[in-house]
Amino acid sequence: MHYKILIVDDDMVQLLVLQDCFEMMGYTVLTATDGKNALDILAVVQPDVILLDVMMPNLNGIELCKRIREHITCPIIIISSYTGKEEILRAFAAGADEFIKKPVDGEIVVAQIDAHLRREERRNHNVISARFFGELIIDYAKRKITIAGKNIKLSKKEFDIVELLSRHKGLVFDRERIYDKVWGLEGEGDSNTVTEHISNIRAKFNKHTEHNYIETAWGIGYKFNG
């Protein structure tokens, strides 16, 4: 089976060594040098396994693991030169499946991850339906949205609007189409309610981010800007 691995490490020498080892074994290797870069990759790609260094700029490996663990089921392996008891316990508390001490042997790491993936195949887990848009995470299965780890409480219709737009990122929907998709035949109002709901969504998002995730296409409608 052809696997995808995301390796996140700001040590370029270590990153290239691990990349070479996994590519030699037939893996598709995705790389990132910090946590925020990793979130950008996870917005568009779902890897089969994630390998995280701890000490990185912007968003360290422990915090990244904690942020994504609730939304994905693939193995997350932490690697670190800090091997004290507290560091190891923090990694497992954040949701790591294994902690590997640096310096690492590339062949042994590949073997360890192969073992994790074989276990995953035997368990036959399904990946939770979630998408990552930078600091915004949308878990469609749990109908949950977080921004920078903070839970955003939306009404049912507000979540339905976000789901519709985010599943069609970049596509413009006019108010009438959004109303038809979200309220359907049960709707007793009109498309003006869409404007009100989107205003509420933006207000809730803006408490936690400066990014405008729902853009207005003037004279046309709205689109998701992930």
> Which sequence spans correspond to the domains of the chain?
4-123, 154-224
Among the ranges given (29-43, 140-154, 170-184), the one the predictor scored with the smallest mean pLDDT? 170-184
Q: Which CATH superfamily is domain 4-123 in?
A: Response regulator (3.40.50.2300)
The reply to whether 154-224 shares the fold of 4-123 is no
Candidates 153, 174, 146, 171; CA nearest to 224 is: 171
Which residues make Cβ contacts (< 8 Å) with residue 128, sequence separation at least 6?
71, 72, 73, 139, 141, 142
CATH number corresponding to 154-224: 1.10.10.10
> What does pLDDT average to over the chain?
87
User: 30 has which bridge partners?
Assistant: 6
Distance of alpha carbon 154 from alpha carbon 197, whole angstroms = 10
pTM equals 0.64
DSSP state of 135: T
Give tens-digit pLDDT for 44-62.
888 989 999 998 888 888 9
Give tens-digit pLDDT for 171-196.
999 998 898 888 876 556 677 889 99
User: Rounded mean pLDDT of 5-16?
Assistant: 92
Task: Identify the pLDDT of residue 1.
Answer: 56
Distance of alpha carbon 49 from alpha carbon 117, whole angstroms = 8
